[in-house]
Amino acid sequence: MIRLPDDYKEYLAIYTTEYEDTYLLEAIVAADIYVLKNIVQNQSERLFEENFNYDVAEQGSTLFGTERIVKIRKLNKKIGDNLKLLYDYRCQICGKSIGEKYDSQVVEAHHIDYFVHSLNNDSNNQLIVCPNHHSIIHDVNPVFDRKRLIYIYPNGIKEGLVLNQHIG
């Protein structure tokens, strides 16, 4: 086995296209990941997510780093979308489908270990939560106990997942 230094490692990004059998491939080298980490490491996760939801062209941004962030997140957006389908657009914490009354599907994918720190977009680092729980989590920053699958809030409240089919 030959181990490459981290500076030489590459990742292959696979993007879906409008055609089911066609994909766009892009190599992402370790240096790109270091640039990304430097760009996002001091940002608030909540602000980062809000900025990600805007189209780069609409922002008028020309920063290469922002373009890179969008590409990396765009690649894995399907993970959150598939989890939303798995949970039938219900919050994993309260079990509610808050948009159901209005024929709307309102849930958000939340990174347990904030993406701006971990760069981990795997399904085992995402929960599907209602906007209320998402805002509360980002506001008070509770600890997530992965063994017991509960959030422990600074005020002592413990709140477990009522829906779980993928974290284990």
pLDDT for position 76: 62
Q: Which domain holds residue 14?
A: 6-160
Q: How many domains does the chain have?
A: 1
Structural tokens at position 80: 């959150």
pLDDT band of 14, cuts 50, 70, 90: confident
Domain annotation covers residue 168: no
What's the DSSP call for residue 101? Answer: G
Average pLDDT over residues 94-112: 95
Average pLDDT over residues 94-105: 95
Domain annotation covers residue 120: yes
pLDDT for position 78: 83
Domain annotation covers residue 166: no
Residue at 19: amino acid letter: Y
Domain annotation covers residue 60: yes
**Bridge-partner residues for 32, per DSSP?**
none
Does 96 have pLDDT greater than 80?
yes
| Structure confidence by residue, pLDDT tens digits, 39-91 | 777 777 777 776 655 544 444 444 444 443 444 444 467 888 999 999 999 99
Domain annotation covers residue 116: yes
Q: What angle do CA 44, 47, 49 make, to 5 degrees?
A: 110
Which position has the higher pLDDT, 18 or 165? Answer: 165
Does 24 have pLDDT greater than 90?
no
Domain annotation covers residue 111: yes
Domain annotation covers residue 165: no
Domain annotation covers residue 167: no
Pairing of strands 10-16, 143-145: unpaired
